[in-house]
Structure 1
Amino acid sequence: MFRLPRPAAWGQLRFGGRLGWARGAVGALFGVALAAVFGKIMPGAAQWPWIVAPVGASAVLVFAVPASPLAQPWSVLGGSMVAALTGLVIGHLVADPLTAAGLSVGMAIATMTLARCLHPPGGACAILGALAATSPTGSWSGLLLPLLVNVVALVFAGWLYNNFTGHPWPHIPAQAPPMPKGTWAGTYERADLDAVLEDWDEVLDVAPADLDALFRAVERRVLRRWEDDHK
């Protein structure tokens, strides 16, 4: 039977251990449900959507990869609202929905980056904003208010659930203990890591401090094995 090839990168993804996917799934269920409830009970809920679709994408980041710089509270809240507002502005300036949708996502990336709240679901929020602005029945409040209520509820759920399940959120980078003196381990400095990241010129979805702690932990493990082999 013909089967599609399995991308090699899939085997490299890890979501918090063997049951990390289950923790993320339960968290997303809790977060989206809470966002929906808040959307249902907010004043004027009968006139506006009680839940906005990009919240589902935000939930994947908040609960499946809570250590990601793109999944932190300010990224979720600020990125969603800044992008939606950008889309609304572009939509009012550009009457054509097709053009407005593309421009809104491009401008949303720029505004989110400047505000230090880059958040992938913000692209969807920007498109919703552009479509709402170019629609005869669309309104600013009809998008911004339900989105704000949903996102605030999701951020609260993320803070509650992630901290309860042992994943401090906002994420706190691991602090690597000092390496023993007089060995090869620990000879690289943080400046070396920063220089390599600068040379790569890529946006990695991991904080440099977490990368540094990971490298230090690998060094300690290799050093222990090296010491055992030379006893």
Structure 2
Amino acid sequence: MTPPARFHELRLWLGIERNTTRHGEKWISAVGALLGIVAVYWITRAVLPSHALVLPGGVLMLTSMGASAVLLFAVPQGALSQPWAVIGGHLVSAAIGVTCQKLFPDQTWTAALAVGLAVGSMHYLRCIHPPGGATALAAVIGGTQVHSLGYHYLLVPVLINVAAILAMALAFNALFPWRRYPAHLHKRAQASPITQPAQRQFELTQEDLYAAMEQLNSYVDITSESLTELLELAKQHAERNITHPGEIIAGRCYSNGKLGKQWSVRHVLASDALPAPRADGMDYRVLAGDDIGTLARCSVDELRQWARFEVKPQGNGRWLKVE
């Protein structure tokens, strides 16, 4: 296995995704998270009376709000970030955590039971929110101060914290039209379809999408609405060029236009890189896909039939179609 192939395999094992967001979007996410935590702090402090239970930080604020801030401001369109996921995830988990602590106090396995039941409940109630696991855990390991709150913990600090960070997420993300929050609130303006659905040979349907997700049998952090829109935009983009290139030019890169593991990008080499070249053959190196780093040779016609269109690198492992 070549070094590029080893690195590609390691990236897949570690789950390192190619981040396609621009620098401005990253800074917007950071500023939003900062303002979100500020809102949680000041709103909770304003709501709580002066004699309320406080922690060393000055006011009772859940540490799990930090994790919620990541989702609400860095991934505002994700399924795990939507309002019901945030509200239900925290409140359901808090109730489970308090109940477990009351039923099985001072047991070494109580915290684990609370988190496990919280995850299962969030699944069934369709409100999976990872920070909810931390909220359930805090109800058990938070010490006597948190234990003394009992089910009041659901109101102070959980509900107040959740309301504060949701309010900031709604206000902040509304400043940027492309940051839809909730995901259903803002509709991205779409260009007129290049090909009408009735003219397509194979048209994906909503039923196909649901069937595929059911077959996958794994929770996907994207709403079905956003996924449908993404697929439609991808199909429109693909329809701009449905023919194979008429000429393969040495020194350029070509994609086979497929998805997933079948996708591949080849760089056509300008000179022979392999011994004993065949007549009318061209050498190429695989730059993306499962066989990354591989050197091979094929005829010009074979390469042209394999290629769908020319591509150019855009950094971060991204490739764009050359119009």
Q: Which residue identity lines up with residue 153 of structure 1 in the other structure?
A: A
Per the normalisation by structure 2, the TM-score is 0.62
Q: How many residues align?
A: 222
Q: Secondary structure of 2:53's partner? A: coil
Q: Does residue 54 of the first structure (1) align with residue 64 of the second (2)?
A: yes
**Residue 34 of structure 1 corresponds to which residue in structure 2?**
39
Q: Does residue 116 of the first structure (1) align with residue 120 of the second (2)?
A: no
**Residue 145 of structure 1 corresponds to which residue in structure 2?**
156
Q: Which residue identity lines up with residue 157 of structure 1 in the other structure?
A: M
Q: Does structure 1 conserve the Cα–Cα contact (< 8 Å) formed by 2:91 and 2:154?
A: no
**Residue 216 of structure 2 corresponds to which residue in structure 1?**
200
Percent of paired sites with the same residue? 28
Distance 1:74 1:117 in 2: 6
Q: Which residue identity lines up with residue 150 of structure 1 in the other structure?
A: N
Distance 1:42 1:82 in 2: 22
Query: Once the two structures are superposed, what CA deviation does each residue of 1:137-188 show, in whole Å capped at 9, x if it has no partner?
Result: 422235740222221110000000111122231112768766513233x522
Q: Secondary structure of 1:224's partner? A: coil
Distance apart, 1:32 and its partner CA? 0.5
Q: Secondary structure of 1:12's partner? A: coil
Which range moves more in the overlay, 53-62 or 186-195?
Answer: 186-195
**Residue 182 of structure 1 corresponds to which residue in structure 2?**
199
More strand by share: 2
**What are the residue-to-residue correspondences of 1:42-191 with 2, within 5 Å?**
42-44=47-49, 47-49=53-55, 50=59, 51-132=61-142, 135-137=143-145, 138-139=147-148, 140=150, 141=152, 144-166=155-177, 167-172=179-184, 179-180=195-196, 181-184=198-201, 187-191=203-207
Which range moves more in the overlay, 23-32 or 200-209?
Answer: 200-209
- Structure 2 stretches of 5 or more lacking a match? 1-6, 247-323
Distance apart, 1:31 and its partner CA? 0.7
Distance 2:153 2:74 in 1: 29
Per the normalisation by structure 1, the TM-score is 0.84
Distance 2:36 2:105 in 1: 36
CA RMSD of aligned residues (A): 2.6
Distance 1:37 1:224 in 2: 51
Q: Does residue 216 of the first structure (1) align with residue 232 of the second (2)?
A: yes
Q: Which has the higher contact order (CA 8 A, sep 6+)?
A: 1
Distance apart, 1:19 and its partner CA? 2.4
**Residue 19 of structure 2 corresponds to which residue in structure 1?**
13
Q: Does structure 2 conserve the Cα–Cα contact (< 8 Å) formed by 1:59 and 1:154?
A: yes
**Change in CA separation of 1:218 and 1:66 when aligned onto 2, cut-off 3 Å:** same
Q: Does structure 1 conserve the Cα–Cα contact (< 8 Å) formed by 2:119 and 2:133?
A: yes
Distance 2:49 2:121 in 1: 29
Q: Does structure 2 conserve the Cα–Cα contact (< 8 Å) formed by 1:66 and 1:72?
A: yes
Distance 2:66 2:208 in 1: 38
Query: Once the two structures are superposed, what CA deviation does each residue of 1:173-215 show, in whole Å capped at 9, x if it has no partner?
Result: 768766513233x522222222111111111111122222211
Choose 1 or 2 for highest CA Rg: 2
- Structure 1 stretches of 5 or more lacking a match? none
